[in-house]
Structure 1
Amino acid sequence: MSDFSVKADEQLWTELQMDVERFKNVPPVLTKLYSDIFLSQKNRPAEMTYFDNMIENIYTGRIQEMLDARKAGKPVIGTFCVYVPEEIIQAAGGLCIGLCGGSQATVPDAEKILPRNICPMVKSAFGFKISGMCPFFQAVDFVYGETTCDAKKKTWELLDKYVPTHVMEIPQLKRERDKRLWLEEVKDFKQAVEKITGNEISEDELRAAVDTLNAKRKSLQRLNSLRHNNPSPISGRDMLLIQQIAFYDDPVRFTDKVNELCDELEARIKENNAVAPKETPRIMVSGTPMALPNWKLHNIIEGSGAVIVNEESCIGTRYYKDTIETNGASAEEMLEKLTERYMKIDCSCFTPNDDRIDQVIAEYKASGAQGLIDYCLQFCHTYNIEAVKLREACEKEGIPFMAIESDYSPEDVGQLQTRVEAFIEQISE
């Protein structure tokens, strides 16, 4: 895609009350970054063109779809977490949109208000809003916040001054009483969404939404299974991109395009048409989420001669590994099943969280990986501490393990590259 260019629309951004003078510099920067990381890859699947187009239109076309939805009275909800019950938003005819939070550019803006020694994703996201540098933030009805970490739950109090923020309490344990609490939180969220439309979500609408999002998750399960083939028919960079786009694209359109890509990958596997030779070292990544455009670690790993074959994270399998079976359930029963599905997510905010350790080991074995890199955003205490138990489990299983802690800045790229190259050399021996 030699003519690839992230599109700009200064009139649209002005209407959204953005800092246009500053933001107009973002599309050319993203164009170069994306071209260097993604379009420089050899033998990419042809169906990746759709996902390239999604990045081209990230600040224009999708934003216009959000505004059109709001004009039609449909809810547009901004999110940061896989705990958002997006079936509720879908059932109301709304849009569930993952917000900006993966760039170093707005961290200095946030640090004028927030402490420096907190999660870079929280600082990045808060900075995007207060600086007027994220069109997605400017186009939502309200933001969904959750209590998965201390930095987030206290930042929501400040964010609410700039954009309406609905906070849902995520239990920290998974007892029956905790599940009941989460069910009540889901019901409260449903009422908040219904308040925008003025209509109560019907049983049929909820069932249709569950079916739509089940199909989306199954398409990602299918895609992830195909990449486990050796040699892999798709790069880890492209897979990461697709998983990031999943958080802001239309779910029906996205599902169709993922399945079309899967069809192509199945054909590539039959033809032994891969992105890297069979002997290429295979890496699995686990840990904290990678919000768009955080492509730093994947670019380092694959630029060092390995291929990434699985992501156990909120941007990866944690988002789509579980579906909801309705089987003729009533609206109340569907909400209960929805609650059960979200309580299966193995976020490190839970204690104990041994299910996640077991899940990582199971995914590692299924993916055919040869080494595990656990990625932790700086100051993310829960994942950082949980890495101790994960390391112990990997040592017990004989799995090569490396823990990496980083932020969004490019300052540690050289150091990380040296460590990653040494790790790849180790597992290649």
Structure 2
Amino acid sequence: MTQTALAEIPPLIDDAQVADPIRRFLEYILNKREAGVPVVGLYCGYAPAEMIRAIGAVPVSLCAASQRTVPAAEAVLPANLCPMIKSSFGFIRTNTCFFFAASDAVIGETTCDGKKKMFELIAHLRPTHIMDLPQLPDEAGGLDRWQESVRKLQDFLEKTFQAALSADRLEAEIRETNRKNRLMDRFFAYLACRPIPVSWHEIYDVISLEHVTNGDEFQNLIEKVSSRLDQRIASGQFFGTSSSPRVLVSGCPVGGDACKVLQMIEEAGGVIVALEACSGMKNYFIRIEEDSGDPLRAVAESTLSIPCSCMTPNGRRLDLLDKMITRFSPDVVIDVVLHACHAYNVESHKIRNHIQDRHGLPCLKIETDYSHGDIEQIRTRVEALFESLETKK
């Protein structure tokens, strides 16, 4: 089966912002602001979006993945700090993150030392709440401590927005999250196809829209997306061929300028079939317990189960990788680590050994930042990886 030229494949989400998905996201937030809906800026999935929606606000991920803002940050922060932290701070220092400007409050979390100290430098700009995240999730009392942190977030939201966060409203948002996660799982089913009818750009487009739509809006989107993907399959329109190397990307958040790695994979002839990285698919496999009688604890339990490398031991991440490899059948795993992200960097050794020993798959670690200086090096390493697959056939 030959690859259809990309220009011949109709857009998966065909609207006025087809050429600029960020503008689609911006328009949604602007419309919410104009309707008087408050905005809460987030930096991580450990901040429970269900609670923000239950208070009547809209959660939005803040800017954090551009080389352009790093120099401004390095005037204050150490140059050898994680680029995501530097970029985040640089956006705020240069006043170029619309989402931060639109936020009425900001929620941070203690996932790493660099982030929690960066939050100290911006806390005076917006009402800011830092969630104390226990990093031994299986330890007795860990969930209780996290539930108390989640309860303190409720206090912060109620005080900031002068509104009550009721158990019934939170229960309704739990159902909405589970509904959207099931819809996302329906979309992910297409990633298991060989050849694959979805590009990595489109995976991110759908994920970004999930963040800013309600259940009915997202269901309508998935219905349209599924119909178009069925049409692609019926007409033989795919990305790559049946023999294209199938890649699972794991590791640090891969967005913005870090997408150069995904672009190099595509240009080298590979197709991305799963994104285990923080900015990808992992949170959508979690289900929050419904009708538990204690929705606050149910939200706390679900968020604490997110398998980030800040957790130790992090067996849940290995379990998730096992499930993703079984479902999406990658030929290789590429583990992307941002410079100075020590937790993901150290854990990469365990990830590589697990993938090789349990699944017999090659695993390539790429350590990078948001600059373009290593693009050709990344290209060479990815091409060599794919050539080794050909040699083994």
Q: Give the TM-score normalised by the residue count of structure 1.
A: 0.84
Q: Which moved more, 1:355-364 or 1:306-315?
A: 355-364
State the Cα distance separating 1:360 from its structure 2 match: 1.3
Give the SS at the match of 2:295: helix
**Residue number among 282, 295, 299 corresponding to 1:338 in the alignment:** 299
Spell out the pairing of 1:4-403 with structure 2 (5 A cutoff). 41-50=6-15, 52=18, 55=21, 57-58=23-24, 60-69=26-35, 72=36, 74-174=37-137, 175-247=139-211, 249-252=212-215, 253-292=217-256, 294-326=258-290, 328-330=291-293, 333-397=294-358, 398-403=360-365
Corresponding residue number in structure 2 for 1:416:
378
Contact 1:102 1:294 in 2 (8 A): yes
Q: Distance in 2 between matches of 1:82 and 1:210?
A: 15
Aligned-partner Cα distance in 1 for 2:90–2:32:
21
Write the letter of the residue equivalent to 2:262.
Answer: H
Gaps of 5+ in 1: 1-39
Contact 1:377–1:406 (8 Å) recurs in 2: yes
SS of 2:239's partner is coil
Closer, same or farther: CA 371–132 of 1 in aligned 2, 3 Å: same
Q: How far 1:315 moved relative to its partner?
A: 1.4
Deviations 1:125-176, CA, capped at 9 Å, x for gaps: 1110110111111010111101111110111111113333210011110123
Q: For residues 173-201 of structure 1, give each alpha carbon's deviation from its aligned partner in whole angstroms, at most 9, with x where no partner exists.
A: 01231100110111111121222332212
- CA–CA distance in 2 between the matches of 1:59 and 1:367? 28
CA 1:104–1:396 in structure 2 vs 1: closer, same or farther (change >3 Å)? Answer: same
Kindly tell me: are residues 291 and 166 of structure 1, through their superposed partners in 2, closer, same or farther at Cα, counting changes over 3 Å?
farther
- Shift of the alpha carbon at 1:300? 0.8
Hey, what does 1:15 align to over in structure 2? none
Q: Structure 1 residues 126 and 258 mapped into 2: Cα distance closer, same or farther (>3 Å)? A: farther
In structure 2, list runs of 5 or more residues that go unmatched: none
How much does 1:58 deviate?
Answer: 4.8
- TM norm structure 2: 0.92
What SS does structure 2 have at the residue aligned with 1:145?
A: strand
Q: Deviations over 1:392-414 (max 9, x none)?
A: 11221311110001001111101
Q: 1:428 to 1:223 in 2, by over 3 A?
A: farther
Q: CA deviation at 1:63?
A: 4.0
Which piece of structure 1 moves more, 260-269 or 107-116? 260-269
Pick closer, same or farther for the CA change 1:215–1:296 going to 2, 3 Å: same
Question: Which stretch has the larger CA shift, 254-263 or 148-157?
Answer: 254-263
Q: Which residue identity is paired with 2:131?
A: M
Amino acid at match of 1:49: D
Q: Which residue of 2 aligns with 1:32?
A: none
More displaced 10-residue stretch of structure 1: 382-391 or 197-206:
197-206
**Counterparts of 1:60 and 1:267, CA distance in 2:** 29
Moved more, 226-235 or 360-369: 360-369
1:428: which partner in 2? 390
Distance of aligned partners of 1:385 and 1:146 in 2 relative to their CA distance in 1, 3 Å threshold: same
Per-residue CA distance 1:266-317 (angstroms, 9 max, x = gap): 3433554322221111111000112345421111101111100001122122
